[in-house]
């Protein structure tokens, strides 16, 4: 999966910024889905999965740092 490999190449600061941006986008999409019809309903799933990928990579790095 190319997204995960691209995320792994990012620095910790870039990952944190991407996580915050994706969380904000997900929040807006959730509000929009409740108030009106979404143009692309799969965006909700895509954003949830992106957040999960980022958190997984951050946790992997945290565990690797603790082992050293």
Rounded to whole angstroms, how far apart are CA atoms 23 and 29?
A: 10
Read off the pTM: 0.89
Q: What is the pLDDT of residues 34-61, one digit of tens each?
A: 998 888 999 999 999 999 999 999 999 9
Question: Is 54:20 a contact under the CB 8 Å cutoff?
Answer: no
Give the end-to-end CA distance of the chain in Å, rounded to a whole number: 28
What value does the mean pLDDT take over residues 27-34?
Answer: 94
Q: Where are the domains of the chain?
A: 2-67
CB atoms within 10 A of CB 41: 10
CATH class of domain segment(s) 2-67: mainly alpha
Rounded to whole angstroms, how far apart are CA atoms 67 and 63?
A: 6
pLDDT given for residue 1 in this prediction = 43
DSSP secondary structure letter of residue 9: T
């Amino acid at each position: 999966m190319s997204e995960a490999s691209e995320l792994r190449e990012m620095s910790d600061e870039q990952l944190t910024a991407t996580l915050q941006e994706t969380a904000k986008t997900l929040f807006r999409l959730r509000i929009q889905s409740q108030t009106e019809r979404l143009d692309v309903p799969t965006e909700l799933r895509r954003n949830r999965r992106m957040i999960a990928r980022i958190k997984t990579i951050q946790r992997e790095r945290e565990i690797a740092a603790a082992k050293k």
